[in-house]
Structure 1
């Protein structure tokens, strides 16, 4: 025991690398520990994606060519699907931000019985699959639902409603976390000085909520761009998004190069938006 204490006081001789070597006595090199998980992740995620990219350059006629990209970009179906995907994702994100901000303020600042239960339910709601929420909406807005005569859910607005309903908790959750860090003394001081509720929201609450809104909104935007189950379950006529176009080309038309092209475009848009969010959040200090 005395020998151990003496070595620890000298700096732990057997713990330090000797002679400038990166290898510790009895311990593997750092890269030897890191390589296996990296290889496993690359095999599980990057390799399938590489196969998709490779297939997108191989037309049915054989060889390697940009013809699949030219055919897809020239088709009206792709341009329409791209526009539909973008406007539904942007509109859904905006609706989630507005509705999520209001709901989070009510839960965090308006005292009412069961507020904690509602906050916990938001966490549970995040675990629900998207098709389950859409199936529930079918009982209200479906062809045999309560207001089925309007056939609302089979329209683009029905898809928009379903996405806002499902993705709003993804905005509420980070907002509740941000509001829990807000000093209520600021609200009391602003109220005592005669500030109206809207002014308090605009000058005190909203600045504190901006990082959480940016985080939740960016997540919802990416999820909406890649949403497939909601569009499929609503059965909306004329609503073809990029994920639906991938499904149509691969399963219904057996056009695998075209499906891979659309999938690559979808991935590039999602990664680009995520990169833009990282740049904006870094500059904002979020």
Structure 2
């Protein structure tokens, strides 16, 4: 029998062959469309704001000096920072026990608690603020409750307290979700282990569980603080000019005074504060994660009675806007009174027959559709290019792709409005679509990247070994596996555009009014209860699919363990 001949493998020099270099270069080209789009739609407008802040109306540091020498501006800055800090601290205290309870309950109850968080997370911010306006107005439910328990006729609407309450409720989901993500990786038996070693339960929780959950706490609170800095709609609807926050002043200086230099300096100040807070929180979270948490036990833990009651109360606060806007949509009177004094379908009829409301709905659907298409194409190709990028560059490129999520929203609106005026895009739907695309690309990148990370990259190579061309391997193997992430990203992009109001308010004009802008104007310009019907429609369209998805996921998980 002949013996096989041993053939020596060719030695490699460590340098990739020219063909592999070319293939890698082509793969990296997938990043270019998204990078170029963000540079044009996001970076250039921001640079324009920075330049204006140093050159308008005169060259120098005058705009920045006025931030700390102008008494009014300094008070507004201080109020904004204080409100954002209080919202982050109070919201973090409210969110922590709720997130902890989510780790203790069984799969079905966890699905309900997650849904309670996700419904307000995706529900229109205008709908939630409208609900708080109804509840806290003079003669409203909150004032009546405070009077009944002995506080007298407390005026909330138009105060900083009303703004803080609404902002805390709006931002609670942003704090609960990071905390829950961190807590679900912690084995609850560690507390029992600490008790077995002689530590009281409270001390074991404080010394063991709390440090392990600290990264999630820091992430949630820092995110809430950063988002609160750029809030515009809530202070505008529930506050007043006497207790204005920085976003309101930026809006006035930009749209009414055309003071782009002063407004730009305020926006850049917010950006610097944002970067400092995020940098500190990341550093502190990194130190906290030096403790390695083991895998979480899948068994449900004991939920004490006080925690059950607390979770129910926080859940009720989270869904209060839903509980208000739906009954309000069936009111028969042209007021914002709750509960309604009569019942009718007139506001739904107005929603689908009024030329202004129908036009705003069609505009939002059109803007949302094209935003989803453009953002999905850009974000998906960027995610594929990012997956093939060397690790030393991946972090920086990924950070750049996600940067529109970090910059305060009011600064993005200011930058885009300033450039749109110069290019003649202000007051056009194409201008809004381009702006929304820049905001939506990060959501698509996150969704598709998460799907790619969970996929075995060797599958496409196996298909190639079996004779499939690269195009066929992508179409028959890679694309079906990544498609759920692409579709999720497209939905996120569409919803992001559908609910965006600040940029749309800056760029509104006859014929370019989106549904959120129409809803905002129905409260601030005219008393039009049709907003309750529009809000209810958005709530139902979001909450029902989320609820079914959560229940179905819980059932699949339970069946998989049998």
| TM-score, reference length from structure 1 | 0.73
Please name the residue that 2:240 is paired with: none
C-alpha RMSD of matched pairs (Å): 3.4
Please name the residue that 2:374 is paired with: 95
Deviation at 1:170, TM superposition (A): 0.3
Give the secondary-structure state (helix, strand or coil) at the position aligned to 1:168: helix
Deviation at 1:167, TM superposition (A): 0.6
Question: Does the alignment pair 1:211 with 2:484?
Answer: yes
Deviation at 1:156, TM superposition (A): 0.8
Q: Deviations over 1:234-261 (max 9, x none)?
A: 2354122221111111110122x22222
Question: Does the alignment pair 1:38 with 2:312?
Answer: yes
Q: Tell me if structure 2 keeps the 8 A contact 1:156–1:236.
A: no
Paired residues in the alignment total 251
Deviation at 1:101, TM superposition (A): 0.9
Q: Distance in 2 between matches of 1:168 and 1:279?
A: 29
Distance 1:192 1:51, change over 3 A: closer
Q: Which residue, out of 325, 343, 352, partners 1:65? A: 343
Question: Does the alignment pair 1:115 with 2:387?
Answer: no
Q: Distance in 1 between matches of 2:437 and 2:492?
A: 13
Q: Distance in 1 between matches of 2:544 and 2:386?
A: 34
Q: Distance in 1 between matches of 2:507 and 2:391?
A: 35
Deviation at 1:130, TM superposition (A): 3.9
Q: Distance in 1 between matches of 2:515 and 2:405?
A: 24
Distance 1:188 1:48, change over 3 A: closer
Please name the residue that 1:263 is paired with: 535
Distance 1:178 1:60, change over 3 A: closer
Runs of 4+ in 1 over 6 A off after TM superposition: 276-285
Distance 1:280 1:143, change over 3 A: farther
Please name the residue that 2:516 is paired with: 243
Distance 1:280 1:136, change over 3 A: farther
Q: Deviations over 1:256-284 (max 9, x none)?
A: x2222222223233335546776999999
Q: Distance in 2 between matches of 1:172 and 1:280?
A: 26
Q: Tell me if structure 1 keeps the 8 A contact 2:322–2:539.
A: no
Structure 1: where are the runs of 5+ without partners? 1-7, 9-27
Deviation at 1:171, TM superposition (A): 0.9
Q: Distance in 2 between matches of 1:197 and 1:138?
A: 43
